Chain A
Amino acid sequence: MKRRHLLATALAAAPLALAHAQKKTTIRWWYHFDDPQATPQALVTAFEAANPDITVQAENIPWGGGADYDNRLYAAIIAGNAPDTAMVKFNNQPRLIEMEALAPIDNFVDSWAARTDISDDLWKLHRAPDGHRYYLPVQYVVLYLYCRQDWFAKAGLKLPVTMDDFTAAAVALTGADRWGFGLRGGAGGHDHWASLVLGNGATLTKGGLTSPAALAANRAFIGLFTDKKAYPPSAPNDGFVQTINNMKAGRTAMTIHHIGSANDMQAALGDAITAVPVPRGSTGGWATFGDGSSAILAQSKNREAAWKWISFLSTGANNVAFNKLSGQVTVTTSGGRDWAMQPKRFLDATTASLPMAKILPPSAQTADFTRTVWPQTTQKALLGQVTPDAMMAGFEKLYFG
């Protein structure tokens, strides 16, 4: 990439290029793909061919559990060195808006022809609380429940639909060296908790985390570990690697993740594994929407060019190519029609989950909640250091003072 840049500079300096003096705009774009061998170079080349006056400098930023990416972005914004555009997540949106770090893209979106190729559901989720648009959808996943259908069949159980089904199955499928549910108790595990507690009686409104129904749901969630031993003993420190590995190794009957790991699961377990929407509880179910968006930073002097690039990435075939690199799902309706990246049953579980797709509230506390408060408090509850009720009281305090 460096060489490309040198080449471009050399070309620009050549007399021939000078004759056709054309102002070149360079935009800096930050991204993260999970696959280190995936490079967006082909997309960049295609874009630059279509927009000869724009050069895209793509920079792959380490994810580092989300912390490294975010911290680097914050530091760059504070120092006035932010990229023109970057891939971003919902949990940072409130903070970035409050910093006045984002450029609204309402005007761009309104006059964008390909806008209708992205579903209204997605647009709704991507509207900021202040009514503006800052985030342009570029990829998404919805969390669903992986199930070992062979074990379910053997035990004469049907795949879970309600929370009661889920609890019964988790207990029934726990045995020697085998656990009903692979809980992610480490950082990022709030997604599991949200499905099992926020989807089953608790709400993220004032008092909604400490209502009798909320406390009961959370007691059941913790009780599956402390009383029923239905999560592996390592659950308090397990991250996504461990929960996925436990599933692949045949140690757990269910876990919650998304289509990003479907091909891996299929390779390890074949037809023994399938996916269904997360169980529906008394508050209608909660399938965490795993977002991925592009945003233009307020510091950018090339917003027009940045928009051209990010809208290019969210358009039809480009977005399909992009999601082949990122391992997630296209946000375009046209691209979704013949999506063949993963076995169909996993895509079905994903789309079936969309009606109950939800996100944590867009408040400044959410980033701290997911990163630190949730894992620390939940781990303490799992270890019996605090009661499940005290855990919920702590969350209530964080969100509603």
Chain B
Amino acid sequence: MNRLSLPWLLLAPALLATAILVLLPVGETMWLSLHDVILYRPRSRPFVGLANYAWLLTDTDFWESLGHSAVWVIASVGLQFALGFTAALLLNRAFPWRGLARGLVIIPWALPSVIIGMMWSWMLDFNLGLFNALGMRLGLLDAPIAWLAQPGTAMAAVILAVVWQGFPFFAVTLLAGLQAIPKEQYEAAAIDGAGTVSSFRHVTLPGLAPVIATALLLRMIWVANSLDLILVMTGGGPGTATQTLPLYAFLKAWSGADFGHGSALAVVLALLLLGVVITYAARAER
């Protein structure tokens, strides 16, 4: 009896918090997505079935923002991971100012998004920005570039900002993972004559694999849903060039006061992420 109830006892607090603060609101949002909900018409909320979802399939902005989300997630998570992993490996080595370096590297992560967004917009400013000024002075640019006013560079700019913000997360998480790999395994590998590359492949990577997978998965979900940096830097523009799916849902629901369509967009985003997670879980099982 005790054996059976123990896991549930341990999980009870987490489940309770989730039920109250997540499941209830999610349930309500899903329910809203089946209605025509205009924020300023609280008395009229006709049930429309799946009409909001049908609308979505024919909405070009939805498909466009889905594409932007894919670019946003893949590029920013990929680059955050690459840079963060490199940083973790380097910071795990012995060098005189290691403690200081570890502390300094987390600065981007320790700043609120609004500051980060404002600061990057400021540095990328067409007339008064650091990037154009440095680029011109070093001879890298012939003329200043309006980074945030052109579709291609605007997307690159918001990705650069989120990579800057997010790479310390990977650095810290993977550094903790690296420290958990027992030294003996490296010693044993060295005795077997393994070099740096070989011990990385046979000791570091397998030892770190679970942490890497977890961190990547969680970061992917988080980045897919994050919109604050984009909102501050471009508002989804120019045009709709940086409008991702959650940003679209946010603008529909709040600026457009259209919670029916906004909720449907959010539900679709959640289902897509769920699909990714289930695929991942199924793979992990094998």
Contact = CB atoms under 8 A, between A and B. Distances in A.
Given A96-B40, A98-B41, A232-B126, A376 B149 contact: no
Contacts of A364: 40, 257
Contact of A380 (B154, B234, B235, B239): B239
Contact of A95 (B40, B146, B235): B40
A233 B149 contact: yes
The bracket for how many chain B residues form the interface is 20 to 34
Contact of B127 (A232, A383, A385): A232
B255 A368 contact: yes
Interface string B5-30: 00000000000000000000000000
Contacts of B221: none
B255 A376 contact: no
Given A186-B237, A376-B237, A383-B239, A234 B127 contact: yes
A237 interface: yes
A251 interface: yes
Nearest to B253: A71
The bracket for how many chain A residues form the interface is 35 or more
B148 A237 contact: yes
B108 interface: no
A293 interface: no
B254 A71 contact: yes
Contacts of B149: 185, 233-238
B127 A246 contact: yes
Contacts of A367: 255, 257
Contacts of A168: none
Given A249-B127, A372-B256, A187 B238 contact: no
Interface in A32-76: 65, 67, 70-71, 74
Contacts of A98: 40-41
Interface in A68-104: 70-71, 74, 78, 95-96, 98-99
Contact of B240 (A235, A237, A380): A380
A28 interface: no
A229 interface: no
B105 interface: no
Interface of A: 65, 67, 70-71, 74, 78, 95-96, 98-99, 185-187, 232-238, 242, 245-246, 249, 251, 364, 367-368, 371-372, 375-377, 379-380, 382-383, 385
Interface of B: 39-42, 125-128, 144-146, 148-151, 154, 234-240, 243, 251, 254-257
Nearest 7 A-B pairs (CB), nearest first? Answer: A234-B126, A234-B146, A380-B239, A371-B255, A95-B40, A233-B146, A236-B238
